[in-house]
Amino acid sequence: MIDETHDPGLTSWVEPANEPGIDFPIQNLPLGIFRTRENPTPRAGIAIGDFVLDASEWIPGTTLDGYMALPQSDRRDIRHRISRALEKGAVTRGLLSQTDCEMLLPGTIGDYTDFYASIHHARAVGSIFRPENPLLPNYKHVPIGYHGRASSVVVSGTGVRRPSGQLGAGIFGPTQQLDYELELGAWVGPGNALGEPIPISHADRHIVGVCLLNDWSARDIQRWEYQPLGPFLGKNFCTSASPWLVTWEALAPFRTTPAEHETPVLPYLQSAGADALTITLEVFIRTQDLGEPVQVSSASFRDMYWTIPQMIAHHTSNGCPLRPCDLLGSGTVSGSDGNAGGCLLELTRNGSKVLQLTASVRRCYLEDGDEVILRGYCNASGFRRIGFGVCSGRILTACMESLAGRRDAF
């Protein structure tokens, strides 16, 4: 629902928030959990410009768990109250610089599910490993997903330890094909009872908001282990999430009608609503040899084959209960253009093609010390641009203590 909080003419008494092109104008109002050295108690905050406004008077508690459990109407009311408090002419309040705040995960993640919602990514990966049949026959009929590991979801800025695992028969060691995956994460609000599916017409009531997500992958470990049950240790060692939750309400101006499927989907996945999102997502890599990060790809979430409401409708179609603070990953976001690949597996054709970052720096897969930075933003005519901040992680060397007694080829 587009309302006065989206008015592009709305300005804030926080003057930096009125500058064009910033991530966090008053039209955005993303939520997060932060703490400071002076006050180490975690509490809710609002990103506004380059600052954080303590939001504990509207959202109590040390996590956003309670907020995520609220009905959509209550969450919308909180957005309106915060918008009025930050509007130009309102009483000014104390602000904290974002650089002085330590950001935490917004909520206590109970379950994490990762989907495979980009048909461009599915085709690109399939063409590498199954060139004669790149897209499996079920893809256009069902949102493919798997259950990940909530305990290894970390907040942006957390170092990513290079995982070790089985790389083939009798081979154990650090992954040699460490990759990132450009994704969007969806935070779940009020859930559903066991045995009671969420109809797609009600799915948006159960979406609190979205964040940037990097679902790191060890391709060599994954390739050896994934048959017959799918991803396991090659995927569950770490997933990085950006700290700011951009609310579903803030995204209202950027929702659009999904592209029509050439293969009709079953009724429980059909929606007449504006369920797709127009979001630009970008990937940057900074190596130890580079002072500044280099952009390596850009893709649009608008091009996803399956929408977030379709993911929720399918996830619960068998009666599986979702709960507040569950996290859903979109799967790698890619485009049809060769430079829109959302991972190195695509961009380097599984290491067969070098990715040239600069004249002297190139990569096939990630090396120790590399930092991957994800950014995202929404643009639409007649509305203020809003952003997502960053989701970053730097690769740390493998934990060698875990490799004692290994049999490997390295």
Based on its alpha-carbon atoms, the radius of gyration of the chain, rounded to whole angstroms, reads: 21
Q: How far apart are alpha carbons 252 and 2 in whole angstroms?
A: 6
Euclidean distance between the first and the last CA atom of the chain, given in angstroms as a whole number: 56
Closest CA to 51 of 10, 107, 100: 100
| Two structure tokens written together for 93 | 């309040």
> Which among 6, 120, 121, 314 is annotated as catalytic?
121
Q: How far apart are alpha carbons 29 and 32 in whole angstroms?
A: 10
> What residues does 44 pair with on adjacent strands?
33
| Two structure tokens written together for 5 | 């909080």
Q: What tens digit of pLDDT does each residue of 398-409 get?
A: 986 555 544 443
Strands (E), 109-161: 112-115, 145-147, 153-155, 160-161
- Whether 353 and 296 have beta carbons less than 8 Å apart is answered as no
Q: How far apart are alpha carbons 246 and 46 in whole angstroms?
A: 10
Instruction: Write the CA distances from 79 to 69, 73, 85, 149, 223, integer angstroms.
Output: 15, 10, 10, 31, 45
What is the reported pTM? 0.96
Instruction: Write the CA distances from 166 to 149, 193, 365, integer angstroms.
Output: 19, 39, 18
The conformation of residue 275, written as its DSSP 8-state character, comes to: -
Phi-psi region of 195 (alpha: psi -120 to 50; beta: other; left: phi over 0): left
Q: Is 121 a catalytic residue?
A: yes
Q: Walk along the chain (410 residues) and give the pLDDT tens digit of each residue.
A: 999 999 999 999 999 999 999 999 999 999 999 999 999 999 999 999 999 999 999 999 999 999 999 999 999 999 999 999 999 999 999 999 999 999 999 999 999 999 999 999 999 999 999 999 999 999 999 999 999 999 999 999 999 999 999 999 999 999 999 999 999 999 999 999 999 999 999 999 999 999 999 999 999 999 999 999 999 999 999 999 999 999 999 999 999 999 889 999 999 999 878 999 999 999 999 999 998 999 999 999 999 999 999 999 999 999 999 999 999 999 999 999 888 999 999 999 999 999 999 999 999 999 999 999 999 999 999 999 999 999 999 999 998 655 554 444 33
